[in-house]
Amino acid sequence: MRFLFVLLAVGMLAGCMTTPTRHWQHKTIPSEQWGSDQRRCQRAAERYLGLDTDYHADRGLSAYDERMRQFEVGKKMTKLVGDCMRKRGYVPVD
């Protein structure tokens, strides 16, 4: 029964693991540039985390461990992209 609960919890986390798309705005940069700046920050975060080469690599992890790793990577990505956008002078819009 406990195993079933753990599987259910992992499944619920899997639905939350995608990095939420946050909208950003800047008061002096044209809105047409906002998306490209966010993509630059996204790519920089991916490079920093080493996701270009080994993100999809089979590491021999169990399904649970892989989901937890993806969850942690998602949290780090969100923070890094947010930090990058703020350094560029953007503010989040919710």
pLDDT band at 57; cut points 50, 70, 90: low
Q: How far is CA 10 from CA 15, 75, 92, in A?
A: 9, 16, 29
- The pLDDT value recorded for residue 52 is 54
pTM: 0.67
Chain mean pLDDT for the chain:
80
pLDDT value of residue 65: 85
Q: Find the helix or strand (DSSP H, E) in which 85 lies.
A: helix 63-87
Q: Residue 94: what pLDDT?
A: 78
* Residue 71 half-sphere exposure toward CB, CA atoms < 13 A: 14
The predicted pLDDT at position 53 comes to: 47
CA distance 94 to 82: 13
